[in-house]
Amino acid sequence: MVNNYRGFRVSLVVPCYNEELSIGRVIEDFKDALPALRIFVFDNNSTDATAQVAHDAGATVISVKLKGKGNVVRRMFADVDADIYVMVDGDATYQATAISRLLDRLIDERLDMVVGSREVAGMGAGEAYRPGHEFGNWMLTTCVKKIFGGEFEDMLSGYRIFSRRYAKSFPALSAGFETETELTIHALELRMPYAEVRTHYGARPEGSESKLSTYRDGLRILWTIGKLYVSERPLQFFSMMAIILALSSIGLSVPIFDEFLQHGVVPRLPTAVLSASLMVCAILSLVAGLILDNITRGRQESKLLAYLAIPALEGASEEPKE
């Protein structure tokens, strides 16, 4: 297979659903930016001519029947063989000419993921990146930073570059738009080297509509963060639950003990039973956290071994950067 950028095989993978008006432009822009780029368009049950337009523009079109961007990402990483994967949405909002900067950052610094952080400017900024979406992105990104660490500014960007070892070790469990959250947390949990590069973000072509539902998808992403917090930080989560239950138990037991010490009787038996039950639940929660923490460590070790089994990017040529 022909090496197409500094000695590496680079593939562009584009998830698409009803992007007939924009996919042709995406393919042409990235071809102009990097002529030897191998382009794969993953059509997710589009009801318009997305697949035909992509095929006519010279891309390899692969159909994905399971609905949702997460399902498409799973197929992307499974079906495409490359040294470097460039993932971009098919809505023509991301800057194709930035691809060389992102690739150079990944190769020169031996990173596993580079995120194209969205930057909007000019009169159409509000149309390109609506204030509600911008606020939601900031809120969700902040949640992830507080829980999992990291220095991301734009966790939900759809413009990313991955090394082969990242792509082939990523489990891709999410089904929908929450996959960007999963992509970010996967890198943070395995302590992979990553970076962000600011890139221009523009408005969709006229007539093209966003598939993102602000509230529904925002809640799904928040729910995903919560699930990943429980699965990746079980001891922390269940310890907090244990503390809450234990404090509740103690709060209920204080007046009962006070009456018992004064009068030698326990008149509020149901409250006493509830207090004792809450303390038992607190102990069980702590034990569950300890057990699940060991299981999580085992899962993380397995993912790390899968990651380390794939060679890092090596042997970049000294040819001039494109």
pLDDT of res. 318: 43
Q: Residue 33 falls within a domain, yes or no?
A: yes
Domain coverage including residue 52: 10-232
Range 27-35 average pLDDT: 93
- 92: how many CB neighbours lie within 10 A of its CB? 22
Query: What is the sign, positive or negative, of the torsion defined by CA atoms of 288, 292, 293, 294?
Result: positive
Q: Could you tell me if 53 and 18 lie in one domain?
A: yes
- Confidence tier at 320 by pLDDT (50, 70, 90): very low
Q: Could you tell me if 95 and 175 lie in one domain?
A: yes
Q: Residue 319 falls within a domain, yes or no?
A: no
pLDDT top residue among 203 and 169:
169
**DSSP code string of 95-126:** -GGGHHHHHHHHHHTT-SEEEEEEE--STTHH
pLDDT of res. 315: 55
Q: Could you tell me if 93 and 220 lie in one domain?
A: yes
Range 75-84 average pLDDT: 93
Summarised one tens digit per residue, pLDDT across range 37-54 is 999 999 998 998 999 999
What residues have CB less than 8 Å from 158, skipping those under 6 apart?
A: 87, 88, 89, 94, 180
Q: Residue 316 falls within a domain, yes or no?
A: no
Summarised one tens digit per residue, pLDDT across range 288-319 is 999 999 999 998 899 899 899 998 887 544 44
- Confidence tier at 124 by pLDDT (50, 70, 90): very low
Is residue 86 helix, strand or coil? strand
For the cut 90, the answer to whether the pLDDT of residue 240 exceeds it is yes
**209, 232, 255 — which closes off a domain?**
232
Q: Residue 4 falls within a domain, yes or no?
A: no
Average pLDDT, the chain: 86
Q: Could you tell me if 226 and 244 lie in one domain?
A: no
**CATH value at residue 16:** 3.90.550.10
pLDDT of res. 12: 96
- Confidence tier at 64 by pLDDT (50, 70, 90): very high
For the cut 50, the answer to whether the pLDDT of residue 90 exceeds it is yes
For the cut 90, the answer to whether the pLDDT of residue 196 exceeds it is yes
**204, 232, 260 — which closes off a domain?**
232
Its pTM surpasses 0.75: yes
Q: Could you tell me if 33 and 181 lie in one domain?
A: yes
Q: Could you tell me if 63 and 206 lie in one domain?
A: yes
Q: Could you tell me if 221 and 248 lie in one domain?
A: no
For the cut 50, the answer to whether the pLDDT of residue 125 exceeds it is no
Q: Could you tell me if 228 and 249 lie in one domain?
A: no
- Confidence tier at 149 by pLDDT (50, 70, 90): confident
pLDDT of res. 294: 94
Q: Could you tell me if 17 and 78 lie in one domain?
A: yes
For the cut 70, the answer to whether the pLDDT of residue 1 exceeds it is no
The number of domains in the chain is 2
**198, 217, 232 — which closes off a domain?**
232
Summarised one tens digit per residue, pLDDT across range 252-261 is 888 887 777 7
Q: Could you tell me if 228 and 214 lie in one domain?
A: yes
Q: Could you tell me if 66 and 210 lie in one domain?
A: yes
The pair phi, psi for residue 21, each rounded to 5°, is -80, -20
| C-beta of residue 55 within 8 angstroms of C-beta of residue 129 | no
Question: What percent of the chain shows pLDDT beyond 70?
Answer: 90
Residue given tokens 């966003």 in the structure block: 210
Nearest to 157 by CA among 189, 129, 186, 190: 129
